[in-house]
Chains A and B, each alone.
Chain A
Amino acid sequence: MTAHGTRQAQIQPNSPAAQLQERFPEAVQEVVHRLGETTVVVEAKALPEVARWLRDELGFEVCVDITAVDYLPNEPRFQVVYHLLSVSRRQRLRLKVPVGGKKPKVPTVTDVWPGANFYEREVYDMFGIEFEGHPNLKRILMPEDWDGHPLRKDFPLGYEPVQFTHNVEEIQRKKPYAKQ
């Protein structure tokens, strides 16, 4: 046995990914098996239906994790990543939902997995992706009045500039308290 389980080369006929592809041929855009993990790329508008079907029919009872990745110059820009776990079948599945546009929007899955609540709030906070139908979509980690979404690739890594004689005035001008 390798440390990471056996690697799957082909799609097995009974795997959740294959069943998903058979059930939702239009919604499933791509199935990838790599490093012993299965990733299914799903259209955003079919997500609630797919999620409900995965929970009820294939037994993915737990939504372990939701996050997003920002592939900035690409369009669609974001990929919302769902890690699902089936306790009864001891399987894992990764769903990916590409979203883009000025105001990225994904339907919520909180009605399927209530545990998605905090995760969707975190993705909204960090990436500015809206989850339509979320019961309480507001910032969770950043302050309420924070400007921007920190985990976007175009959000700079903040730092305190070092003051030297040549730039001290410029720095002081930018500091909020310096205006008083």
Chain B
Amino acid sequence: MGLVQNAIKWFLGRDMPADVAEIERERERRIEQMLIPTWEEGEKGPRFLLNMGPQHPSTHGVLRLFLELDGETVVRVEPDIGYLHTGIEKTFEHKKYEQGVTLTPRLDYLSNMFNTWCFCMAVEKLLEIEIPPRAEYARVILGELQRIASHLVWLGTHALDIGALSVFLYCFREREMILDIFEMVSGARMMASYFRPGGLAWDLPDGFEEAVSNFIELFPERVDNYEQLLTDNLIWKDRTQGIGVIDTQTALSLSVTGPILRATGLAWDLRKTMPYSVYPEFDFDVPVGTHGDVYDRYRVRVQEMRESVKIIRQALEKLPGGPFRVDNHKVAPPPKEEIYLSMEALIHHFKLWTEGMRVPPGEAYAWVESPRGEMGFYVVSDGSARPYRVHVRAPSFANLQAMPHMAEGGLVADLIAIIASLDPVLGEIDR
């Protein structure tokens, strides 16, 4: 007899009505089921379940973890996701392609340029159009700036989780400069939506090149500063070396991509291995690690920031003039001046904003190397102005699967370092 039933019996002076009693019994049975594993005997005393998150500062969003602990050792981890599910894939099906662009930054909000870029590439692939070189170069510059900004958030919060508070402040100081550039370009600091199928929303503003070159002049020195604080720091090494180890084969079989895969020693960077956009024209290295632990992931990402600066410098030198979006007015609107003078341009403009662009039927998968790994958009078109199906291959979603493998057998404190080193963004995991 349950406690509640006893209380009710005492209160009423008789048994509960049948249906209420049934509900109560069912509830107690469920609670019992949940509690059973908690009292299993482990080596270091009774095992217990610990609920971590979803509201927890070091789960980097609304990630919830079920931990089964034996003393302080993690026996089992089960991630529970979906707290940030907003049905973006469903919403895509009800929006026109150009409206869909505004949904993309909401996925991985820390590297929104890559989402938009990838979506645009998939649509351009279906349309079989090539975008002008100025747009490609602008995308590369902004994309690499975004990679730096994203890695800065990762580095700051990672260090914060492990207890190095000051790194966070320095990282966000530099990120602020990048966000200022984004604001200058697109008007928004985080949800830029600046790339559009067929090129860019509008041309790069005056003073853009100067702002970017100022930043890349200053930034390599700042990376040195972060490294001075962390790379040879004994406490940092103690907390990260040999923690969360994963080898290349396991990483591949668990669909892990990005810096986590490269930290295991495999130089798999889509910008080099399956190039897209204008990346073949740039000279840069792919940093790799050797051990596949948290420290190596740290080294790889920090090195990637330096490589991004290299790419931005080259792209800025080569940045061509010319149009910033395609001349195909079935895809991109005609320039405003033309609308006043040409009947055809006015019709195109009207058609585009009322009906939207029509994408030929078919399916396409486009990929970019986002700061977290392979970001992919699978777009199915039925020939109308709205996509039939859009699926997002989110890198964090796949990378999260590797977490139990990394964390089981370690300590709870190491789990915090592992989560941070995975750099998950729940916006794209839950979509």
Query: Which residues of A are in contact with B by a Cβ distance under 8 Å?
Result: 2-4, 34-37, 39, 61-65, 67, 69-70, 81, 83, 87, 90, 92, 94, 113-119, 122, 126, 139-143, 150-151, 155, 157
| Residue B397 CB within 8 A of the other chain | yes
CB distance from A127 to the nearest CB of B (A): 11
CB distance from A134 to the nearest CB of B (A): 14
Whether the Cβ atoms of B126 and A35 lie closer than 8 Å is yes
Question: Whole-angstrom distance between the alpha carbons of A70 and B255 in the complex?
Answer: 25
Question: Whole-angstrom distance between the alpha carbons of A98 and B90 in the complex?
Answer: 21
Question: Whole-angstrom distance between the alpha carbons of A117 and B254 in the complex?
Answer: 9
Among A35, A63, A70, A141, the residue within 8 A (CB) of B125 is A35
Whether the Cβ atoms of B253 and A69 lie closer than 8 Å is no
Question: Whole-angstrom distance between the alpha carbons of A150 and B130 in the complex?
Answer: 35
Whether the Cβ atoms of A62 and B252 lie closer than 8 Å is yes
Whether the Cβ atoms of A87 and B376 lie closer than 8 Å is no
Among B85, B252, B255, B376, the residue within 8 A (CB) of A141 is B85
CB distance from A126 to the nearest CB of B (A): 8
Q: Is the interface of B mostly helix, strand, loop or mixed?
A: mixed
Question: Whole-angstrom distance between the alpha carbons of A70 and B126 in the complex?
Answer: 19
Whether the Cβ atoms of A115 and B82 lie closer than 8 Å is no
Query: Which residues of B are in contact with A by a Cβ distance under 8 Å?
Result: 81-82, 85, 87, 89-91, 94, 124-126, 128, 130-131, 252-257, 266, 268, 273-274, 276-277, 362-365, 374, 376, 378, 380, 388-389, 391, 393, 397-398, 400-401, 430-431
Whether the Cβ atoms of A64 and B393 lie closer than 8 Å is yes
Whether the Cβ atoms of B401 and A115 lie closer than 8 Å is yes
The verdict on A67 contacting B378 (CB below 8 Å), with A3-B130, A157-B91 known, is yes
Among B273, B362, B401, B430, the residue within 8 A (CB) of A90 is B273
Question: Whole-angstrom distance between the alpha carbons of A92 and B376 in the complex?
Answer: 13
Whether the Cβ atoms of B380 and A157 lie closer than 8 Å is no
Whether the Cβ atoms of B388 and A65 lie closer than 8 Å is no
CB distance from B156 to the nearest CB of A (A): 28
Among A37, A118, A139, the residue within 8 A (CB) of B401 is A118
- Nearest CB in chain A to that of B360: its residue: A35
Question: Whole-angstrom distance between the alpha carbons of A65 and B367 in the complex?
Answer: 11
Among A2, A64, A83, A150, the residue within 8 A (CB) of B90 is A150
Among A3, A69, A122, A151, the residue within 8 A (CB) of B380 is A69
Which of chain A's residues have a CB closer than 8 A to the CB of B128? 4, 35
Can you spell out 27 A-B residue pairs with CB atoms less than 8 angstroms apart? Answer: A4-B128, A35-B125, A35-B126, A35-B128, A37-B365, A62-B257, A64-B255, A64-B376, A64-B398, A65-B255, A70-B389, A83-B365, A83-B393, A87-B273, A113-B253, A114-B253, A114-B401, A115-B255, A115-B256, A115-B398, A117-B401, A126-B89, A141-B82, A141-B431, A142-B85, A151-B90, A157-B94
